[in-house]
Structure 1
Amino acid sequence: MMELWTSMGFLMAIFAFAQSILHSFLPPELRLSPDKLSRRLFRYFSSYCYYDIAELDGVSPNELYNAVQLYLSNTASVSATRVSLTRPPNSSTFTFNLSNNDYLYDTFNGAAVSWEHHVTQRQSQSFSWRPVSDEKRGFTLKINKKDKPFILPAYLDYIMDSAAELRRKNKDRLLYTNSRGGGSIDSGGRGWESVPFKHPSTFETLAMDPALKDEIIADLREFSEGKAFYERTGRAWKRGYLLHGPPGTGKSSMIAAMANHLGYDIYDLELTEVQTNSNLRKLLMKTTPKSIIVIEDIDCSLELTNRSSGEKKEKPPAQKPLPSGAAASGEEAQVRSVTLSGLLNFTDGLWSCCGNERIFVFTTNHVERLDPALLRSGRMDMHIFMGYCSFPALKILVKNYLGEREEEEERVWMELEEVLVKVEITPADVSEVLIKNRRRGRRVALEELVKVVKGRVEERKVVDGGEEVVEEVKRTLESPNDGGGGGTEMSVDDERLDDAKEGKELTV
């Protein structure tokens, strides 16, 4: 027995010595030739194709790897026996990932494919400009050779699109605002700051006419599903909405409902913080697809007057003073020069197509102050008037704050419907009354609402009466005076005119 072990050890020593001699004298090409030949023979006779997708492309992240990982997460949560759980940044949902060195099977267009997630240790590097993980990760896709023409590259395109949609659904909405400092892009290439967008407004809770609401929802749906249409017609994939009406009528809630309905992020563009048209273009380039770009109170953001009137010209807003002792930098020292033409290029010029599936929303309380060039189709495709509270909108508000309608309230509802048409009251005012009285009970809250609406009706009567007095006083002032005591009569008329303008109750 001892002789057998001795002979085996002697043979192993001779084999190791011969191997070291071969490694010393034979070049690497010859040493690796048998291995390469065997691999080629295996691939030639194999009925499968293999594709490796590494996590890193050099030192940069491989976008396809991240897309595959996200795409397989849905299947892994159902069919895989071992998965790893993660929660991406800015997300409230968990993601299922294929574990290391595990397999997963998928089908596409009737063809079966398999995925393997492999992890190996990376060789140590002496120097690197970027920190690199010690593990080398990647996916291997195995496809039957006969299915290759029908799968690639359609399958990979499908994975990229599916991953983008999953990423959008899993990620919480973000609300962006342009950074301070005149809207300039900082050294890191960022022009926006963001916070999670948690606004609860939806079209179901939005208080407005149901027919108009359905029209807006249908328009948004056609836009979000219209990629092929916009490509076929040669138009930039964007849409413009103008929300106009009195304050408190729900314009901001409408924007939030649009974002929640489509799953889009919101970019709240503050034009007064943008110095030049060039910075405006840079900010536009930093916005992402599937987003809503909002400019609120557009009539107050810039001096955007009606150019056809010829009375006024565009004038940039005055530059904000710098803090005492602060030196003006190059861009801060410049006068802000964002113009109407720059804004028009932003909404409908060449720069408007720097990104797909984006919605522009402008809001204003005074639509008559805006230049017609800003309002035409192609820039503002849909004008939405956010008016005072109607009876259908009132029913939505009551349902939101007090619950479903009860049968014994018919008298109160008839009274509300009768008086609501006689007064201008905003949804914000109605909401405030319901919020204040919701703890006092449903009936008390509705009766208090009736009282407030009736009070508004009486106030309107007073105002209308005051307006009649104003007209009468004007006619009196314009009529010839028969002399004597004219100065006294004029002062009395002036006082009555001032009181009438203030809405005071007057008698003639």
Structure 2
Amino acid sequence: MREYWTSLASLMGALAFLQGVLHAVFPAELRAAVARLLGRATRAFSPYCYFDVTETDGMSNNEIYDAVQLYLSSTAAPASGARLSLTRPHNASSFTFGLAASDRVADSFLGAAVTWEHVVAPRQSPGFSWRPLPEEKRRFTLRIRRGDREKLLPAYLDHILAKAQDIKRRSQDRLLYTNARGGGMDARGLPWDPVPFKHPSTFDTLAMDPDRKADIMADLRDFSNGSAFYERTGRAWKRGYLLYGPPGTGKSSMIAAMANFLGYDVYDLELTEVSSNAELRKLLMKTTSKSIIVIEDIDCSVDLTNRAAMAQPAPKPRPSITDGTADHDTTGAATGRSITLSGLLNFTDGLWSCCGSERIFVFTTNHVEKLDPALLRSGRMDMHVFMSYCSFPALKILLKNYLCFQGDSDDCADVVRAMEEWIEAAEITPADVSEVLIKNRRNGKKKTLVELLEVLKARAEKRQRDSGTAAARKDAGDNEEEEEEKRALESPKEGKGQQAGKDSCQDGQDEETDAKKQL
């Protein structure tokens, strides 16, 4: 054993002596050149290609490096044997996994296998720099086969950038923006004031017919994945939704469910705070892509009624005789509001609405008949969604949300069947049903269902009484109208008879006068 260690020490000494001789005989430049030649020869016969993605590009950050880091956070987490770093970015709602130093992870794209390696090396002491640099140099090394190069590049990098953008958007908290009062600016010089958007509504909890919800979700999914479609057809990447129906039917909850489903920010536009069409256009320009622009109760915000029912325009101002100036109409100045229907139409479907991508316009109203038809046509409001009264499928969703009732209880089967019979006649909104369930949620499932059934019966009977009273009033009104028509038809005959009597009396008086004259 001693002879083995002695031979090993002699060999190591000989290698060290040869290294010293090589360093003394051959200069450093020659050794570097030989090393480069050997590396090129090795890569020439290697079946792989290598690409380095550095953390910095000169004095600026490398966008691809950040995208690869986010992309691998979703790919590296389930990988076995990978050493991961755990982080949570600022204003994020979830944790992020990343590769540790000098670790690898495998991935695949379009059937081709790729390998990522995270390389971290200490940075040599730099000279003077205006920007402080990190102490370590970091980069990602991508290894792919030579035969897959044309297939993977640049499609694979585009896929990574899109995936990273989606991860970033979904990991961060969504924001709810509202326009500043009077068109003012915030501290950043923007006309929108943001607050965190944490509305819990989803399509699973939304009280609506399941088939109708499936259609809306499919339409939203097609819209978010329709970049190539809108580019091919030459259309602006936007879509309009009109939510109309009685109050309390879930229009605001639908907007929140759409935002949570797509991961979009919400811009709540208050039209009463917008003073002109130019200001409305500026607000549109300051919205971001992947957002939902909402105008709630649009029929109550500004005068957007049907233009056919509007009065005739005023005549043009005429010059004044005294001073030669025109007498201008001060009606618009007195109101202080100059936003018009034309400005809103251009906001939703004009040239300025195309200065962004992947945006959804949502209008809500309780009286759709009050809106101008030009605002409702396709291209502005593409999908009209009627938010109706609570149906039986929507009622089952509410029972599941509030009572965890799945309909599998035998002792409540009769009550559920009775509610199915009375729900349509009651015409009750989901908000009213929710209020009844909230008040009685501590009384047990069966007692709460019985109480809800009584409310449905009371509403249905009240509607029947009201409809009967309205029908009786209508019949009475019809009878009065018939009597008035009869009196109107009889009045001309009586007038003619009275006129004939008056004429005969007048003739008699004339004859008597003539006789007196003759005498």
Task: Give TM-score, length-normalised by structure 1.
Answer: 0.75
State whether residues 178 and 192 of structure 1, in contact with CA within 8 Å, keep that contact through their aligned partners in structure 2: yes
Matches of 2:462 and 2:397 in 1, distance apart?
Answer: 25
Matches of 2:85 and 2:42 in 1, distance apart?
Answer: 35
**Residue-by-residue CA offset, 1:169-222 (whole Å, 9 max, x unaligned):** 4334x1321342434555635343433333222223222223322322232233
State whether residues 185 and 282 of structure 1, in contact with CA within 8 Å, keep that contact through their aligned partners in structure 2: no
Q: Which residue of 1 aligns with 2:430?
A: 427
Using the TM superposition, give the Cα deviation of residue 437 of structure 1 relative to its aligned residue in structure 2, in angstroms: 0.7
**Residue-by-residue CA offset, 1:253-289 (whole Å, 9 max, x unaligned):** 1112222233333222223333443443343334333
Q: Which residue of 1 aligns with 2:245?
A: 245
Matches of 1:308 and 1:43 in 2, distance apart?
Answer: 79
State whether residues 241 and 383 of structure 1, in contact with CA within 8 Å, keep that contact through their aligned partners in structure 2: yes
Say if 2:265 is the partner of 1:268.
Answer: no
Say if 2:357 is the partner of 1:356.
Answer: yes
State whether residues 114 and 143 of structure 2, in contact with CA within 8 Å, keep that contact through their aligned partners in structure 1: no
Matches of 2:188 and 2:220 in 1, distance apart?
Answer: 34
The aligned runs of 1:54-453 (5 Å cut-off) are 54-77=54-77, 78-79=79-80, 81-108=82-109, 109-121=111-123, 123=125, 128=130, 133-172=134-173, 174-186=174-186, 188-311=188-311, 335-402=336-403, 403-405=405-407, 406-453=409-456
Q: Which residue of 1 aligns with 2:320?
A: none
**Residue-by-residue CA offset, 1:473-500 (whole Å, 9 max, x unaligned):** 79769967xxxxxxxxxxxxxxxxxxxx
Say if 2:451 is the partner of 1:454.
Answer: no
The one-letter amino acid paired with 2:248 is G
Distance 1:41 1:146, change over 3 A: farther
State whether residues 106 and 112 of structure 1, in contact with CA within 8 Å, keep that contact through their aligned partners in structure 2: yes
State whether residues 306 and 372 of structure 2, in contact with CA within 8 Å, keep that contact through their aligned partners in structure 1: yes
Distance 1:275 1:62, change over 3 A: farther
Count of residue pairs the alignment pairs up: 435
Segments of 5+ residues of structure 2 without an aligned counterpart are 1-19, 314-334, 485-519
The aligned runs of 1:473-484 (5 Å cut-off) are none
Segments of 5+ residues of structure 1 without an aligned counterpart are 1-11, 23-30, 314-333, 481-508
SS in 1 for 2:288: coil
State whether residues 108 and 114 of structure 2, in contact with CA within 8 Å, keep that contact through their aligned partners in structure 1: yes
State whether residues 205 and 397 of structure 1, in contact with CA within 8 Å, keep that contact through their aligned partners in structure 2: yes
State whether residues 113 and 144 of structure 1, in contact with CA within 8 Å, keep that contact through their aligned partners in structure 2: no
Using the TM superposition, give the Cα deviation of residue 41 of structure 1 relative to its aligned residue in structure 2, in angstroms: 6.5
Task: Give TM-score, length-normalised by structure 2.
Answer: 0.73
Matches of 1:225 and 1:121 in 2, distance apart?
Answer: 43
Q: Which residue of 2 aligns with 1:499?
A: none
The one-letter amino acid paired with 2:216 is I
The one-letter amino acid paired with 1:213 is K
The one-letter amino acid paired with 2:365 is T
State whether residues 53 and 138 of structure 1, in contact with CA within 8 Å, keep that contact through their aligned partners in structure 2: yes
The one-letter amino acid paired with 2:67 is A
Using the TM superposition, give the Cα deviation of residue 92 of structure 1 relative to its aligned residue in structure 2, in angstroms: 2.7
Using the TM superposition, give the Cα deviation of residue 407 of structure 1 relative to its aligned residue in structure 2, in angstroms: 2.4
Matches of 1:131 and 1:281 in 2, distance apart?
Answer: 41
Matches of 2:252 and 2:365 in 1, distance apart?
Answer: 11
Identify the match of residue 42 of structure 1 among 20, 33, 39. Answer: 39
SS in 2 for 1:439: coil
Matches of 1:81 and 1:338 in 2, distance apart?
Answer: 59
Using the TM superposition, give the Cα deviation of residue 147 of structure 1 relative to its aligned residue in structure 2, in angstroms: 4.0
Distance 1:396 1:141, change over 3 A: closer
Distance 1:81 1:465, change over 3 A: closer
Identity value in percent: 58
Distance 1:309 1:449, change over 3 A: same
**Residue-by-residue CA offset, 1:56-110 (whole Å, 9 max, x unaligned):** 3444432211101111223332145322110123333211112234444444442
RMSD: 3.5
Matches of 2:82 and 2:212 in 1, distance apart?
Answer: 50
SS in 1 for 2:406: coil
The one-letter amino acid paired with 1:429 is D
**Residue-by-residue CA offset, 1:138-157 (whole Å, 9 max, x unaligned):** 33334455543333212211
Distance 1:181 1:297, change over 3 A: same
Distance 1:58 1:362, change over 3 A: farther
Distance 1:81 1:408, change over 3 A: closer
* Bigger radius of gyration: 2
Matches of 2:206 and 2:163 in 1, distance apart?
Answer: 31
State whether residues 178 and 193 of structure 1, in contact with CA within 8 Å, keep that contact through their aligned partners in structure 2: yes
State whether residues 243 and 385 of structure 2, in contact with CA within 8 Å, keep that contact through their aligned partners in structure 1: yes
